[in-house]
Chains A and B, each alone.
Chain A
Amino acid sequence: MITIENLVKHYGRTAVLDGVDIEIADGESVGLWGPNGAGKTTIMRCILGLVRYEGSIRVHGIDAKRRPKATRRLIGTVPQELGFYDDLTIRETLQLTRRLRRAPAERLPLVIEQVGLEQHAAKRVRELSGGMKQRLALALALLDDPPVLLLDEPTSSLDLASRELMVRQLEDLRGEGRVLLLCSHNLEELAMLVDRVVALDNGRVVEECPPSQLADRLGLSSWLHLSVAGGDEARAHELLAAKGFNARLNGHGVLVEVSAQRKAVALGHLSESGVEVLDFEVWRR
């Protein structure tokens, strides 16, 4: 259980967090969503006591500001920027962490296996790919099976295959009374992993809801860039505009604003009207 009340954080004169309240129940899996700079990472750093802040954070009833060590004992974390000792091997890194966390030695082979690093245990951290580092971070977070996991963009540096693997591993960690707090700007990923999304913008909570409702609630949209066959750009533009889409021509194709979770609707309209869409790209704002 995590209770965050009136969390305020300034970097200089800039307020990064401006009165954030979040309540997370036991066993709940919550996503922090928002654009870069919204304050997601800062919340995690506040919980870990890595930065100074105003307001109060309690983790399982422990005041995180007064007793940062006891708080961190409850938390496993996968930070966004992974920092390890480059000269240590995977095994040494795990052992160092195990001793810091007082985790039992038997856990070590278990977590190595859990994240699939058995083959690489003797490699130095500096030799690892981004994906392997991410998995190492997860293994470290799971070492003493803590009741709270903080995951900051855990899939950001991964290729497609690794990302799928990571998502599957994270799915397995949900439930069982464990609190999962996940930062992401990827709504699709959050939809798979969390019960509830807290949307942040400019250091404030702007919305709290299940991930499936977020796009609608916030009126989120994306832009699609369409390539259409046979010089039909002008027609496609007219058709979309007629259907109420915000669309415009742009050099080689058509740009159309679509609802974030109903991107294919625009394509459907065009194909019904006989405009052949050869290709599309999602342009985020």
Chain B
Amino acid sequence: MSEVDTGVEEQVGGEGVEFRLIRVIVVKVLQESLRDRWFWLYTIGFAALAASLTLVAIPDSSVVLSGGFGRTGAALVALVQLVVVLMAISLGARVLPSERESGSLAFVLSQPIGRTEVLLGTFVGLGGALLAALAAGFGVAGVLSTLRDASVSASVLIRLTGLSWLLSLCAVAIGLVIGVSQRKVGAATSTALFVWFVLVFLGDLGIMGSVLASRLPVESLFLAAVLNPVEAFRVAAIVALDGSLDALGPAGTYAVDTYGDRVGLIGVGVLVAWVVAPLTLAWLVFRRGADL
């Protein structure tokens, strides 16, 4: 029979977040992810697409004299926008409802661990799993690019990986918001799919519609686009790949003229905000203690 030890917490009068407990959840989530066939499906799919883009998109070096990674990079950017965002947002959206349905969330929360720790651990764990997936995909693409004589720069490769990870963290955080507010895996998955569709397609299509209908000024166009995390990622990635947005027409030129070298930072800033804000929202909802 153990002593009734209420520990330091009672003296402090609050319940601090324990890093140790977060770590336990992180490892658990990582482990679950690596056993999840969806995770592997996405990871292998991403790596295969990235690798084949690298091989296919780099043309014959006897024809083309300068390096061709710019184009591969652009294709990889679109791939990340489509696949990685979908993967991350659905992983993030499914994890809590599925634990709810299986009862394992109630099991964990019956232990001496706070909801903040569970949520943070889940976020970090999924973030780790996605970093593994992205690093593997880009690593394979990088190795293959050296086989094909493409002058990929190492720093571009690393920066593209980092930005993709940041975008995937946004998507996970958004997914978690869906996950804390939906009780059923099915509902969470379809909501995630819808949000993905909005972020990846509807946002841009809406901008196109506005331009066609009302001659949206370029500064509004740039702002409307870059506030979308998927577009913010693209802006930052293009800056990382080409060094400039000037390929993107008047709105790109506007952005370069107005913000100069800070355009890439703006993209990164928007991404960071899209990690922090949804995560905070998810935390507020989850901490409020919806019934399990």
**Which residues of A in the span 229-262 have a Cβ within 8 Å of any Cβ on B?**
none
- A48 on the interface (CB 8 Å rule)? yes
Q: With contacts A67-B15, A176-B1 known, is A85 near B110, CB below 8 A? A: no
- A13 on the interface (CB 8 Å rule)? no
Q: With contacts A70-B112, A79-B107, A178-B1 known, is A50 near B292, CB below 8 A? A: yes
B10 touches A70 (CB 8 A): yes
| Bound CA–CA A60/B106 (angstroms) | 22
- B4 on the interface (CB 8 Å rule)? yes
Q: With contacts A49-B289, A83-B105, A83-B106 known, is A70 near B1, CB below 8 A? A: no
| Bound CA–CA A239/B104 (angstroms) | 55
Shortest beta-carbon distance from A179 to chain B in Å = 10
Q: 19 pairs across A/B with beta carbons < 8 Å? A: A45-B291, A45-B292, A50-B292, A60-B4, A67-B10, A67-B15, A70-B7, A70-B112, A72-B110, A72-B112, A73-B7, A73-B112, A74-B6, A83-B105, A84-B102, A85-B102, A86-B102, A145-B2, A177-B1
**Which residues of B in the span 90-142 have a Cβ within 8 Å of any Cβ on A?**
99, 102-114
**Which residues of A in the span 4-40 have a Cβ within 8 Å of any Cβ on B?**
11
Considering the complex, give the chain A residue whose CB is closest to the CB of B116: A69
- A131 on the interface (CB 8 Å rule)? no
Contact of A144 among B2, B9, B109 (CB under 8 A): B2
- B24 on the interface (CB 8 Å rule)? yes
Question: How many residues on chain A are close to B (CB under 8 Å)?
Answer: 41
Chain A residues, CB < 8 A from B158: none
B15 touches A69 (CB 8 A): yes
- B204 on the interface (CB 8 Å rule)? no
Contact with A along B263-292 (1 / 0, CB 8 A): 000000000000000000000000011111
Contact with B along A46-58 (1 / 0, CB 8 A): 0011111000000
- B28 on the interface (CB 8 Å rule)? yes
Contact of B2 among A82, A97, A147 (CB under 8 A): A147
Chain A residues, CB < 8 A from B291: 11, 45, 50-52
Chain B residues, CB < 8 A from A88: 31
| Bound CA–CA A60/B6 (angstroms) | 9
- A87 on the interface (CB 8 Å rule)? yes
Chain B residues, CB < 8 A from A83: 99, 102-107
Contact with B along A152-174 (1 / 0, CB 8 A): 00000000000000000000000
Known: A48-B109, A68-B15, A83-B99. 7 other contacts (CB 8 A): A49-B289, A69-B15, A72-B110, A72-B113, A85-B32, A97-B111, A146-B2
Contact with A along B147-168 (1 / 0, CB 8 A): 0000000000000000000000
Shortest beta-carbon distance from A66 to chain B in Å = 8
A70 touches B114 (CB 8 A): no
| Bound CA–CA A101/B5 (angstroms) | 13
| Bound CA–CA A195/B120 (angstroms) | 42
Chain B residues, CB < 8 A from A87: 32, 35
Q: With contacts A50-B291, A52-B291, A79-B106 known, is A96 near B28, CB below 8 A? A: yes
Give 10 closest A-B pairs by Cβ, nearest first: A83-B103, A73-B112, A51-B291, A100-B111, A72-B112, A50-B292, A83-B104, A83-B107, A99-B24, A69-B15
A96 touches B112 (CB 8 A): no
- B21 on the interface (CB 8 Å rule)? yes
| Bound CA–CA A45/B107 (angstroms) | 11
- A62 on the interface (CB 8 Å rule)? yes
Chain B residues, CB < 8 A from A75: 110
Q: With contacts A50-B110, A72-B112, A100-B111 known, is A147 near B1, CB below 8 A? A: yes
Chain A residues, CB < 8 A from B7: 70, 73
| Bound CA–CA A176/B2 (angstroms) | 11
B110 touches A101 (CB 8 A): no
Chain B residues, CB < 8 A from A72: 110-113
Considering the complex, give the chain A residue whose CB is closest to the CB of B107: A83
- A134 on the interface (CB 8 Å rule)? no
Contact of A100 among B15, B99, B113, B292 (CB under 8 A): B113
- A81 on the interface (CB 8 Å rule)? yes
| Bound CA–CA A96/B107 (angstroms) | 11
| Bound CA–CA A1/B21 (angstroms) | 27
| Bound CA–CA A210/B292 (angstroms) | 32
| Bound CA–CA A64/B105 (angstroms) | 19
Instruction: Indicate the member of A62, A74, A96, A145 with the most B CB atoms within 10 Å.
Output: A96
A79 touches B103 (CB 8 A): yes
Considering the complex, give the chain A residue whose CB is closest to the CB of B7: A70
B112 touches A101 (CB 8 A): yes
Considering the complex, give the chain A residue whose CB is closest to the CB of B105: A83
B1 touches A52 (CB 8 A): no
Considering the complex, give the chain A residue whose CB is closest to the CB of B114: A69
Chain A residues, CB < 8 A from B103: 79, 81-84
Contact of B113 among A69, A84, A177 (CB under 8 A): A69
Contact of A52 among B9, B106, B289 (CB under 8 A): B289
Chain A residues, CB < 8 A from B105: 83
B292 touches A70 (CB 8 A): no
Contact with A along B4-36 (1 / 0, CB 8 A): 101101100011000001001000100110010
